[in-house]
Structure 1
């Protein structure tokens, strides 16, 4: 009974912290949709990624700090802290406590929603990997810094793939439909996705979104995806020396892709996402190419949250127990 109560209390704590952080940073996410960072899409993408992972980082750090004292007591590294405060909820699996019905219900609901959403993320990743693997098995690799896999058949596809081993899937039908300049523009865009590690960042953002409010997680993913596409457009324009060339290739590929289904799923692909806005940015040469720092910034935030939680485990444990007592 104590173990079940502990699990439900941890699930409720993680969900409540994730929701609270989501609400606190939502105004910052809304600000990213404005015109203030229009000219620096790479920075906008970085900020969207950091905001999207913040609920998960804070939630995991707080829960880890809150469960550290009972874990330390269980392995004999610390004294039993529960004996000193019997006046509120115990976040502990060592002692059988009365499970408050509302707290148990919140924890059970949060755990069920988390598992359901996690299953959806896993299913989407598996489906995407299956589609890409099927295409790659038919293709012929071409060597390079980012290998190109030439795929035969009808799909109009120019797609960056690989969480670790980056490569570009290019359909023969699309390659034949584009001029050499248009093809270089499309490939420059996809190479920018791989340099930025957008496939990996998209996966991490999806996993981190499991700890955030669902609407907030979807909004972060949408802002990140659009900003990442604009950032790659800007890098491609810098590589080609003319944003108009990239805009022309983008419009042509988008028109070709409308005739067939989107094979690549939600992963980065040269195509029609936010087409009008991206073409306007390219033609006006407003967006500037810049380096992505999302992984470094998120890593620094994670390190800071971890160090703070480690240094204040007793305080955070007591604060979480007090908050649960007051709420439930």
Structure 2
């Protein structure tokens, strides 16, 4: 049993975790509506909103702990918060209680996710090293740049990959079947991914999204990947025509077959992937950039925080009542 300051800190951490779980459940139930709304935004605005969505449970957890803090400190300002956010025995923390089990479960979950992601990153790096061994010199392929790795493979594919030092990869099988202009479009697209640090962002985003149930996490990762591809397409539009990019996209999609191998999807950006029809529609109809509706987002965050705070208090009373009987 812990008493006083250490107990208050552990109880606050427990409150934050319960608030985090409550917010995750609420946001998961709203994810289908969120996905339909997010697809109406431009690629850049969609990415920012998606980052906010996956980070929201963590922020809500912190806000819940702050709302409970006055009642734990028995402050006079806690009077109006008493019915909304009240925590029993704030100065005591039992190491054999359900509160301790929640903390242990969370720590083990975080360790599991980090270890699993680390192992996938190692396999990804090893797979890239094997692919690089298949690379050829650039002679005979024109001036494609030193940042491009040419793979000796008949499978038509182009992608950017790598965590700390991402590079562009293109196969000889693809280069032999596209024109010089099409190859320029493909390489500019992959270079745009590297400039935007998309491989690193996709990995970090997938870590945040892993807090959600698997079906929800898959949908969020898919939306984020699509937004990354559309941003790269928009970057290429500054040098090539929209219809030329769309035609190249269709051609490569027809040529390309499954080429990912052992590369982890969260660490790779393929040229012809992620809802080709939506990317072509954005190119043809000239998608305009939009600003994320941050006012509505802040209001939504406040509502989620309020419901999560109520959920923390309700869950606490329910579990305490169950254990006391």
TM-score bracket, normalised by the shorter chain, equals 0.5 to 0.7
Q: Tell me, yes or no, if the aligned pair for 1:14 and 1:211 is still in contact at 8 Å.
A: no
Q: For 2:2 and 2:224, locate their aligned partners in 1 and report how far apart those are by CA, in whole Å.
A: 41
Alignment of 1:1-328 (within 5 A): 2=2, 12-13=14-15, 15-25=17-27, 30-34=32-36, 38=40, 40-59=42-61, 88-90=89-91, 97-99=93-95, 101-140=97-136, 147-212=147-212, 214-242=214-242, 244-258=243-257, 260=259, 262=261, 264-266=263-265, 267-282=268-283, 284-288=284-288, 326=317, 328=320
- Note the alpha carbon deviations across 1:113-150, whole angstroms, 9 max, x for none: 33333332222222222211221233257798881112
Give 1:241 shift.
1.9
Superposition RMSD on alpha carbons, in Å? 4.3
Structure 1 pair 209–23 and aligned structure 2 pair: CA distance change class (3 A)? same
Secondary structure of the 2:168 match is: strand
Q: Tell me, yes or no, if the aligned pair for 1:250 and 1:270 is still in contact at 8 Å.
A: yes
Q: For 1:141 and 1:167, locate their aligned partners in 2 and report how far apart those are by CA, in whole Å.
A: 15
Q: Tell me, yes or no, if the aligned pair for 1:226 and 1:273 is still in contact at 8 Å.
A: yes
Q: For 2:94 and 2:258, locate their aligned partners in 1 and report how far apart those are by CA, in whole Å.
A: 61
Q: Tell me, yes or no, if the aligned pair for 1:147 and 1:166 is still in contact at 8 Å.
A: no
Give 1:168 shift.
0.7
Q: For 1:271 and 1:169, locate their aligned partners in 2 and report how far apart those are by CA, in whole Å.
A: 13
Give 1:26 shift.
5.1
Normalised TM-score (structure 1):
0.67
Structure 1 pair 323–137 and aligned structure 2 pair: CA distance change class (3 A)? farther
Structure 1 pair 278–180 and aligned structure 2 pair: CA distance change class (3 A)? same
Secondary structure of the 2:170 match is: strand
Structure 1 pair 8–87 and aligned structure 2 pair: CA distance change class (3 A)? closer
Q: For 1:64 and 1:171, locate their aligned partners in 2 and report how far apart those are by CA, in whole Å.
A: 54
Where structure 2 has 5 or more consecutive residues not aligned to the other structure, the ranges are: 70-86, 299-309, 321-325
Structure 1 pair 270–322 and aligned structure 2 pair: CA distance change class (3 A)? same
Number of equivalences = 281
Q: Of the two structures, which has the highest relative contact order with CA contacts closer than 8 Å and spacing of 6 or more?
A: 1
- Note the alpha carbon deviations across 1:214-269, whole angstroms, 9 max, x for none: 55443322211112112222222342123x22222222222222265555431211
Secondary structure of the 1:177 match is: coil
Q: Tell me, yes or no, if the aligned pair for 1:53 and 1:208 is still in contact at 8 Å.
A: yes
Q: For 1:39 and 1:145, locate their aligned partners in 2 and report how far apart those are by CA, in whole Å.
A: 34
Structure 1 pair 14–133 and aligned structure 2 pair: CA distance change class (3 A)? farther
Q: For 1:172 and 1:42, locate their aligned partners in 2 and report how far apart those are by CA, in whole Å.
A: 32
Secondary structure of the 1:239 match is: coil
Q: Tell me, yes or no, if the aligned pair for 1:190 and 1:270 is still in contact at 8 Å.
A: yes
Give 1:112 shift.
3.3
- Note the alpha carbon deviations across 1:54-74, whole angstroms, 9 max, x for none: 33455478779999xxxxxxx
Q: For 1:6 and 1:140, locate their aligned partners in 2 and report how far apart those are by CA, in whole Å.
A: 61
Q: For 2:188 and 2:128, locate their aligned partners in 1 and report how far apart those are by CA, in whole Å.
A: 20
Q: For 1:40 and 1:229, locate their aligned partners in 2 and report how far apart those are by CA, in whole Å.
A: 12
Structure 1 pair 223–87 and aligned structure 2 pair: CA distance change class (3 A)? closer
Give 1:199 shift.
1.0
Q: Tell me, yes or no, if the aligned pair for 1:18 and 1:55 is still in contact at 8 Å.
A: yes
